[in-house]
Amino acid sequence: METQAKNPNFNIASKKKKSAELSLGYNPYAKDKLYAVLFLGPSLLILALFVFYPMLRTIYLSFFLTNNLGKPTVFVGLKNYFALFSSNAYINSLIATLVYVIAVSIFTIAIGLVLAQAATKKVAGINFFRTIFSATMGVSVSVAAIFWLFIFNPSVGLLSQLFTALNLTPINWLTEPGWAMTAIVISTVWMNLGFTFLIFFGALQSVPYTLYEAAQIEGVSKSYQFFHITLPMISPTIFFVSIITLIESFKSFGLIDLMTAGGPNNATNLLVYRIYQDAFLNGNYGLASTESVILAVIIALFTFIQFKVLEKRVTY
């Protein structure tokens, strides 16, 4: 009895409260907004401090001459940009970068795909090979650089000894311009393979086996199966890997610094390495900023083109 008597009062009270809140412009989502800000705040702060501010600062600096502490001194407008595009050294650097990026991307994807396809075979000891193929994921750049320096060493290197044993003239891998680029490409592809292999291997495993069985029953050859089932089925993965590889190789720094330091004769002086040199060795922060902006634009452009071209081929 008591509760029954209480209940109506309670209802009236709560209704009154609600209408009062509504009339005062009470926003039921205000609390949600507060939570959103609370949750996003920390990462927003970190991003702002370490990404957005440096980005804007870089764009700002690219219009200035700086002293060697990185302080802007004279506003020069677009002169930094004009200077770069009329500099032969910079254009060479740009071309070298394009050659490097394209070569690395093509070889990484092709070799990664071949290894992944090979690793799907059910043969004895396949797990050993799967581990080996993905092992470079756990190798740091410095270790990789030392490893490849050993291999490429003109006197005691593995390759030189192999060439000598085969009665061929050993190649000066790191001191001849053309070969230095080749050596850098080989080492980078090797470094990339672990990750690429793993991603491709996962993608290949997820292709339903019945698709191949259906093809087998129709008498479709293995190579036709690869090009007309496997490749289209993993095309989204190929797309993903190609974009990652492209962006990563535009940003390559460690191997170059440790193996050739941009040499010989600037043959491997890629855009990122040039930025590093201009900023931290030459103290020319304005110019380095300009180069950074240009590199960012180039990467964005390439990614955009890739999206446009590959999107049409990734059809499901």
Partner 1 sequence: MSIELINISKTYNGSDFILSDISVKIATGEFFAIVGPSGCGKSTLLRMIAGLIPISNGQLKIDDKDVTNLPPQERALTMVFQNYALFPFLNVKDNVAFGLKARKMNSSEINTRVNHALELVNLTDFSERKPGELSGGQRQRVALARAIASDAKICLMDEPLSNLDAQLRNKMRSEIRELQQKLGLTLIYVTHDQVEAMTMADRIMVLNDAKAQQIDSASNIYDTPSNTFVASFFGTPQMNLLPIILKENKQPSDVETNLKFSITNSLKAGNYLVGVRPNALAIDEVSSKTNAIVTNIEYLGTHSIVHAQLDNSLELRIEVSSTRNLSTTERVSVSVTGNHYIFSEDGQKLLNTNGGYTDGNASQEPQLQHSI
**Candidate residues 220, 247, 299, 310; the one interacting with partner 1 per rule CB under 8 A:** 220
**Residue 311 found at the interface with partner 1 (CB under 8 A):** no
DSSP secondary structure, 269-314, as one string? --HHHHHHIIIIIS--HHHHHHHHHHHHHHHHHHHHHHHHHHHHH-
**Residue 226 found at the interface with partner 1 (CB under 8 A):** no
Query: Closest Cα to residue 282, out of 67, 76, 61?
Result: 67
**Candidate residues 14, 67, 216, 282; the one interacting with partner 1 per rule CB under 8 A:** 216
**Between 230 and 292, CB nearer to partner 1:** 230
**Candidate residues 78, 114, 211, 309; the one interacting with partner 1 per rule CB under 8 A:** 211
Query: Closest Cα to residue 97, out of 181, 169, 170, 174?
Result: 181
DSSP secondary structure, 45-96, as one string? HHHIIIIIHHHHHHHHHTTEEE-TTS-EEEE-TTHHHHHHHT-HHHHHHHHH
Single-letter amino acid code for the residue at 61:
L
**Candidate residues 21, 32, 213, 311; the one interacting with partner 1 per rule CB under 8 A:** 213
**Residue 208 found at the interface with partner 1 (CB under 8 A):** yes
**Candidate residues 229, 244, 299, 310; the one interacting with partner 1 per rule CB under 8 A:** 229
Tell the smallest beta-carbon distance from residue 41 to partner 1 (Å): 40
**Residue 210 found at the interface with partner 1 (CB under 8 A):** yes
**Candidate residues 232, 254, 263, 264; the one interacting with partner 1 per rule CB under 8 A:** 232
Contact 108, 196 (CB under 8 A): yes
Of 15-23, 78-86, 125-133, 212-220, the segment contacting partner 1 by CB under 8 A is 212-220
**Residue 25 found at the interface with partner 1 (CB under 8 A):** no
**Between 31 and 121, CB nearer to partner 1:** 121
Beta pairing partners, 72: 66
**Between 128 and 316, CB nearer to partner 1:** 316
**Residue 124 found at the interface with partner 1 (CB under 8 A):** no
Q: How far apart are CA 291 and CA 84, in angstroms?
A: 8
Which residues lie near partner 1 (CB under 8 A)? 208, 210-211, 213-221, 224, 228-229, 232-233, 235, 315-316
